Amino acid sequence: MKLEILTRNEHKELHNLIIANIRDLINRKNLEPGDKLPSERMLSERFEVSRSNVREAIQKLEFYGILKSKPQSGTFVADIGQVAMNGMMNDILALEDPDFKSLVETRILLELKTVKLAAKRRTDSDLERMKAALEAYKVKVLNNEDAVQEDLLFHLAIAQACGNSTINRMMLIITPEIINNFEKYHVCDKNQSQKRLKEHQDIFKAIKEQNTQKAKQMMKDHFVELYKYCYNI
Amino acid sequence: MKLEILTRNEHKELHNLIIANIRDLINRKNLEPGDKLPSERMLSERFEVSRSNVREAIQKLEFYGILKSKPQSGTFVADIGQVAMNGMMNDILALEDPDFKSLVETRILLELKTVKLAAKRRTDSDLERMKAALEAYKVKVLNNEDAVQEDLLFHLAIAQACGNSTINRMMLIITPEIINNFEKYHVCDKNQSQKRLKEHQDIFKAIKEQNTQKAKQMMKDHFVELYKYCYNI
DNA sequence: TAAACCAATCTGGTTAACCAATTTTTTATT
DNA sequence: AATAAAAAATTGGTTAACCAGATTGGTTTA
């Protein structure tokens, strides 16, 4: 067989092709939750792709909870049912790359929640972590240095304090994408950094005082600039 | 070298170990954004693990946007900066498995947003997809069959119509976990299924009419039972 | 001096052979 | 005939050799 190196996009296309093939196979064979898929070797032969590509596609479907691999046993359809599996696979295949607007919209949604929850649930050690992150941010700002990272890390510290591991996970997923777009579009303006620092300090204070409403309002104010920018694209 | 098969948990531990090693390496060598990591072969030798394990750990960090692999070239630290990378890696390593309460809380947060956005932005083809999902749900309910999957698929159809690919992605991530917990804790009650159908129809109607406030309120009502359950655990 | 070229080397990706746990089938025993 | 024990086949995971594109350093050339 000819060996071919794929670009990142071709790679994704290949994965989607394999995923679609697996979906069709499950439908044709009427596999139900808990049923076993054909082995990786058979799938790779059947779809005429390498076994490692099949493994990668299966890994992706495992991430979305649709399949489960058991060592030395097989790959199984998860307990989510055939209909749900079909719908979700189609959804996954239709998933496009996130645009900046979608990222910002999601970030604001998540953070207005995390800040409220953090104000309610923060422990003393949470406070310490947040304070440390805030201090690091402060130092950079006062030295008039770029502080995008420290900015975001303070927000991640809030997410960590919100006591919801799922929301925290989602903040982790979007943060690097946010950072990249920040730098790409030069969202952050150094002239405003003093103001931003003040806002961060206000947020921290509200969380410390466990004033949920104030915390949310401070975060909202903090996002106003971003909002504006987002709707101007 | 001795070959050893790992359980799922040991596997995760190994990944975390490698991730921690990579973090320490980046710190020790003071690698900055865009810098190249040592090759996979060198890392595997240095950490005394297999190259495929290194590749899997790198893949995970790629998913979180911390590293970028370029074919035939190398693996690079993403443009998020050293400080952010450190903080995020620590966060990732500290990430625990989601509990049901965290899942439900997140689901409600996301869906109260998706339903509002869907009411505002839904296209005609979105409406058709949602109507189809709703019909499938209706058939199951009227036949008094289990309809958890069709239920969730309707919600996913709403997410798809919300015009925000990031939120849609997150709904896809949590849905299988939600389904599993639904079935584990028997959250769904068949006696209430008629009521649930009515609620779904109300939501659909509100989205069709593009009445955002009503759509959100209907969704809120729909979640009341879940709320109760969630806070009773 | 600097630009262009070329070959040696290094890289992530791919493949195929191999491993050990598991599952299935066969055989042996009661 | 039923059960237990053993062997064969199957599985996902692992390893190591290999591939082709990218990089690099030195050499040649304008």
* CATH assignment at residue B82: 1.10.10.10
The answer for A 87-106 residues in CB contact with B (under 8 A) is 87-88, 91-92, 94-99, 102-103, 105-106
Domain extent, residue A65, equals: 8-94
Where among B94, B117, B132 does a domain terminate? B94
- A65-to-A62, A85, A113, B151 alpha-carbon distances in Å: 5, 9, 25, 17
Residues A188 and A113 in one domain: yes
Q: Span A18-40, mean pLDDT?
A: 90
Q: Does the residue A3 lie in any domain?
A: no
Q: State CA B210 to chain mean position distance.
A: 27
| Residues A210 and A175 occupy one common structural domain | yes
A10 touches chain B (CB under 8 A): no
Residue A37's pLDDT is what?
A: 93
Q: Among B150, B130, B142, which Cα is nearest to B202's?
A: B130
Boundary residue ending a domain (B63, B94, B125): B94
List, as one string, the DSSP characters of chain B: -------HHHHHHHHHHHHHHHHHHHHHTT--TTPBPPPHHHHHHHHTS-HHHHHHHHHHHHHTTSEEEETTTEEEE-TT-HHHHHHHHHHHHHPPPPPHHHHHHHHHHHHHHHHHHHHHH--HHHHHHHHHHHHHHHHHHHTT---HHHHHHHHHHHHHHTS-HHHHHHHHHHHHHHHHHHHHHT---GGGHHHHHHHHHHHHHHHHTT-HHHHHHHHHHHHHHHHHHHHH-
Whether A105 and B167 lie within 8 Å, measured CB to CB = yes
Q: Answer yes or no: is pLDDT of A43 > 90.
A: yes
Element (H, E) at A210: none
pLDDT higher than 90, residue A200: yes
Q: How far is CA A106 from CA A113, A174, A177, in A?
A: 11, 9, 12
**pLDDT above 90: residue B113:** yes
Q: Which helix (H) or strand (E) holds A77?
A: strand A74-77
Q: Is the pLDDT of residue B229 over 70?
A: no
Q: What is the pLDDT of residue A145?
A: 87
- CB contact under 8 Å between B95 and A165, yes or no, is yes
Residue A67 φ/ψ, nearest 5 degrees: -125, 160
Which residue(s) pair with B139 in the sheet?
none
Q: How confident is the model at residue B233 (pLDDT cuts 50, 70, 90)?
A: very low
Instruction: Tell me what ipTM this predicted complex has.
Output: 0.84
Q: Mark whether A14 and A109 lie in a shared domain.
A: no
pLDDT at position A1: 43
Same domain, yes or no, for A44 and A109? no
The tokens of B25 are what? Answer: 């390496």
**Is residue B176 a contact partner of residue B184, using CB atoms and an 8 Å limit?**
no
A174 CA to C11 C1' distance (Å) = 29
Task: Confirm whether B222 is domain-assigned.
Answer: yes
pLDDT in tens, B12-52: 788 889 999 999 998 888 888 888 999 999 999 898 898 99
In one letter, which amino acid is B90?
N
> A147 and A105: one domain?
yes
pLDDT tens-digit map of A166-189: 999 999 989 988 887 876 666 666
Do the domain assignments include residue B3?
Answer: no
Q: Is the pLDDT of residue B157 over 90?
A: yes
What is the per-residue pLDDT for B228?
Answer: 65
pLDDT in tens, A204-225: 999 999 999 999 999 999 998 6
The answer on B57 and B150 residing in a single domain is: no
Torsions phi, psi for B75 (to 5 deg): -110, 130
**What sections of chain A are H helices per DSSP?**
8-29, 40-47, 51-63, 82-94, 100-121, 124-142, 148-161, 165-185, 193-208, 212-230
- Does strand C come within 7 Å of the CB of A71? yes
Over residues A138-153, the mean pLDDT reads 89
CA of residue A25 relative to chain centroid, distance: 30
pLDDT confidence bin for A233, thresholds 50/70/90: very low
B73 CA, D28 C1': separation in Å?
A: 27
| Same-domain check for residues A78 and A181 | no
- Judge whether B2 lies within some domain: no
Q: Would you say residue A189 lies in a domain?
A: yes
- Is B231's pLDDT higher than 60? no
- Residues B110, B89 within the same domain: no
CB contacts, 8 Å: A183 with chain B:
79
Q: Which of B51, B80, B96, B171 to mutate to test the interface with A (most CBs of A within 10 A)?
A: B80
In the complex, which nucleotide's C1' lies nearest to the CA atom of residue A58? D12
> Are A168 and A127 part of one and the same domain?
yes
In a domain, B192, yes or no: yes
Q: How many domains does chain B have?
A: 2
Q: Is residue A2 part of a domain?
A: no
Last residue within a domain, chosen from B39, B64, B94: B94
**Nearest CB to A176: which of B64, B103, B164?**
B64
CB contact A173 to B (< 8 Å): yes
Mean pLDDT of chain A: 87
Task: Say what the pLDDT of residue B122 is.
Answer: 98
At B168, is the pLDDT very low, low, confident or very high (cuts 50, 70, 90)?
A: very high
Region A100-114: mean pLDDT is 94
pLDDT band at B109 (very low <50, low <70, confident <90, very high): very high
Residue B85 sits in the same domain as residue B125: no
Enumerate the residues of chain B whose CB falls inside 8 A of the CB of residue A99. Answer: 165
Residue owning tokens 């502080």: A147
3-state secondary structure of A7: coil
Do B159 and B203 share a structural domain?
yes
Q: Which of A66, A105, A149 is nearest residue B80 as measured by Cβ atoms?
A: A149
High-pLDDT (> 70) share of chain A, %: 88
- Which residues contact residue B111 at a Cβ distance below 8 angstroms, ignoring those fewer than 6 apart? B155, B158, B159, B171, B219, B223
B112 at the A interface (CB within 8 A)? no
Q: Is residue A219 part of a domain?
A: yes
Residue A14: count of CB within 10 angstroms of its CB: 17
- Are B98 and A153 an interchain contact pair (Cβ–Cβ within 8 Å)? no
Q: B144 and chain A: CB distance < 8 Å anywhere? A: no
Q: How far is B9 from chain A (nearest CA, A)?
A: 12
- In 10 A of CB B135, how many CB atoms? 12
Task: Work out the pLDDT band at B1, boundaries 50, 70, 90.
Answer: very low
Q: Which of residues 160-219 of B touch strand D (CB under 7 A)?
A: none
The distance (Å) linking the CA of A6 with the C1' of C12 is 11
pLDDT band at B8 (very low <50, low <70, confident <90, very high): low
Contact B180 A149 (CB under 8 A): no
Instruction: Write the CATH number for A178.
Output: 1.20.120.530
Contact criterion met (CB < 8 Å) for A80 and B136: no
Q: Say whether the CB atom of B51 is under 7 angstroms from strand D.
A: yes
Residue whose C-alpha is closest to residue B221's, from B209, B201, B232, B208: B201
pLDDT of residue B216: 97
Proximity of residue A53 CB to strand C below 7 A: yes
Clarify whether residues B82 and B106 are in a common domain: no
